[in-house]
């Protein structure tokens, strides 16, 4: 057996990261396109010194205990880390890292894509071309809402929220409202943005886009009462995490035209079952969690995850730490 540190990588990630890890570590990569089952994950982490994990891997006390005292670092291949019990990692002396910034533009672009698609009735319009429903140019079909000069509400004006707000301001001259834990004077100055309470943001915005992390505080932040505060012409976009929305309440709101439409990159659960009632709604666009899915972002994430693992194994501070 080699005396190199053992690292388990729970999915195939770009070579840019794997090659770096392989220079210094014994690396096992889970080769299948679906995540390892829980019992398999527990089996694989046993005796590992480092882990590269995906948002689908729950890293909790049980995983840390099973991995054993040799585990030094968990590098999440994502910026969100709601799948990791960070407090338990701290207790076990395990460093935790993530992959911020490199995926910001890619994810902000998907938020913009969903905003446009949901605003312009993309789902039924594109389907009508394929299924023969498109009979002629029709003056009253697929009437959407326009973006120029409207108000966008950004829930969570962090890295991705700000990049999305810049697109809205620069591209369509939108007014920007936002919520965040702390004021953002740069955004107020550069984008003419205004920090408001969530209720005001929901009531005033023509477009609401979610960019906060999933925490106990943000779980089901957008529930039935929140949806009822939105304009009937409003479009809701979620590229954050599925659980930030009460999905049953969203389904009811879309069906009853409480809001105009929604664009979702993230759902509960993932994958969304093909018989989900959301998929029957013409005013809902759903993507399979592709926010960071560009070659640039995923390659950069792989390098950052490898850098985190190598630093953690060497006992150095992680270059991209969580918390
Ligand atoms: P970030 O820079 O940490 O931004 C998060 C923002 O949310 C911060 O501005 C924070 O405020 C704010 N916030 C925290 N709690 C809040 C609350 N209760 N209400 C309102 N705002 C709140 O993170 P990021 O890099 O932009 O990423 C944001 C999230 O996007 C990630 O956590 C992840 O879940 C999701 N994401 C999804 C994809 C995808 O593929 N769809 C890709 C990347 C990321 P302060 O700045 O004042 O603390």
| pLDDT tier at 303, thresholds 50, 70, 90 | very high
> What average pLDDT does range 140-160 have in this prediction?
98
Closest ligand 1 atom to Cα of 182: 47
| Token duo for residue 5 | 């540190």
Contact 162, 210 (CB under 8 A): no
Distance 161 CA to ligand 1 centre (A): 7
Distance 109 CA to ligand 1 centre (A): 15
Check if 263 has its Cβ closer than 6 Å to any atom of ligand 1. Answer: no
Closest ligand 1 atom to Cα of 100: 25
DSSP state of 245: B
Contact 104, 134 (CB under 8 A): no
Q: What is the pLDDT of residues 2-30, one digit of tens each?
A: 899 999 999 999 999 999 999 999 999 99
Check if 103 has its Cβ closer than 6 Å to any atom of ligand 1. Answer: yes
Tell me the Ramachandran region of residue 182: left when phi exceeds 0, alpha when psi lies from -120 to 50, beta otherwise.
beta
Q: Is 113 helix (H, G, I), strand (E, B) or coil?
A: helix
Q: What is the pLDDT of residues 49-91, one digit of tens each?
A: 999 999 999 999 999 999 999 999 999 999 999 999 999 999 9
Provide the mean pLDDT of the chain. 98
| Token duo for residue 226 | 């929140």
Can you count the helices (H) and strands (E) in the chain?
A: 12, 12
Check if 17 has its Cβ closer than 6 Å to any atom of ligand 1. Answer: no
- Which residue(s) pair with 61 in the sheet? none
Q: What local confidence, expressed as pLDDT, does residue 133 receive?
A: 96
Distance 175 CA to ligand 1 centre (A): 20
| Token duo for residue 279 | 């998929």
The Cα 234–Cα 261 span in angstroms is 7
Contact 221, 244 (CB under 8 A): yes
Tell me the Ramachandran region of residue 73: left when phi exceeds 0, alpha when psi lies from -120 to 50, beta otherwise.
beta
The Cα 46–Cα 52 span in angstroms is 14
DSSP, residue by residue, 157-204: -SHHHHHHHHHHHHHH--EEEEE-SS--HHHHHHH--EE--HHHHHHH
The Cα 203–Cα 226 span in angstroms is 9
Q: Name the one residue in this structure whose structure tokens are 């590229």.
A: 239
Distance 258 CA to ligand 1 centre (A): 26
* pTM, two decimal places: 0.98
Please calculate the CA angle 252-118-159 and round it to the nearest 5 degrees: 105
Check if 291 has its Cβ closer than 6 Å to any atom of ligand 1. Answer: yes
What is the set of active-site residues?
241, 270, 289
Check if 184 has its Cβ closer than 6 Å to any atom of ligand 1. Answer: no
Residues whose CB falls within 8 Å of the CB of residue 218, separated by 6 or more in sequence, listed in order: 156, 212, 240, 244
| pLDDT tier at 323, thresholds 50, 70, 90 | confident
Distance 239 CA to ligand 1 centre (A): 10
**Cα dihedral 291→297→302→306 (10° resolution):** -110
Residue of minimum CA distance from atom 46 in ligand 1: 158
Half-sphere exposure of 136 (CA within 13 A, CB side): 3
Q: Is the dihedral of CA 69, 75, 76, 81 positive or negative?
A: positive
- Which residue(s) pair with 222 in the sheet? 245
Check if 153 has its Cβ closer than 6 Å to any atom of ligand 1. Answer: no
Q: What local confidence, expressed as pLDDT, does residue 2 receive?
A: 81
Closest ligand 1 atom to Cα of 104: 25
The Cα 9–Cα 99 span in angstroms is 15
| Token duo for residue 105 | 């533009």
| pLDDT tier at 1, thresholds 50, 70, 90 | low
- Which residue(s) pair with 73 in the sheet? 50, 95
């Amino acid at each position: 057996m080699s005396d190199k540190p053992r690292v388990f990588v729970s999915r195939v990630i770009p070579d840019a990261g794997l090659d770096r890890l392989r220079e210094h570590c014994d690396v096992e990569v889970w080769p299948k396109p679906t995540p390892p089952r829980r019992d398999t994950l527990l089996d694989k982490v046993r005796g590992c010194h480092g882990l590269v994990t995906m948002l689908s891997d729950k890293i909790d006390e049980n995983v840390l205990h099973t991995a054993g005292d040799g585990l030094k670092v968990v590098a999440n291949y994502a910026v969100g880390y709601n799948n990791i019990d960070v407090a338990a990692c701290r207790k076990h002396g395990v460093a935790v890292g993530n992959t911020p910034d490199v995926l910001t533009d890619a994810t902000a672009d998907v938020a913009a894509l969903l905003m446009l698609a949901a605003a312009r009735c993309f789902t039924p319009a594109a389907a009508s071309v394929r299924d023969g429903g498109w009979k002629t140019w029709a003056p009253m079909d697929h009437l959407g809402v326009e973006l120029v000069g409207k108000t966008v509400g950004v829930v969570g004006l962090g890295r991705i929220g700000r990049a999305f707000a810049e697109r809205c301001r620069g591209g369509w001259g939108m007014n920007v409202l936002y919520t965040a834990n702390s004021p953002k004077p740069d955004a107020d100055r550069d984008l003419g943005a205004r920090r408001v309470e969530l209720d005001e943001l929901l009531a005033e915005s023509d477009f609401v886009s979610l960019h906060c992390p999933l925490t106990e505080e943000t779980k089901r932040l957008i529930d039935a009462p929140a949806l009822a505060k939105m304009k009937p012409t409003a479009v809701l976009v979620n590229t954050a995490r599925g659980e930030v929305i009460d999905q049953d309440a969203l389904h009811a709101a879309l069906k009853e035209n409480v809001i105009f439409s929604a664009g979702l990159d993230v759902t509960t659960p993932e994958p969304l079952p093909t018989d989900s009632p959301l998929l029957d709604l013409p005013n809902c666009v759903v993507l399979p969690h592709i926010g960071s899915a560009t070659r640039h972002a995923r390659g950069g994430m792989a390098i950052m995850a490898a850098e985190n693992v190598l630093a953690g194994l060497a006992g150095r501070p992680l270059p991209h730490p969580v918390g």
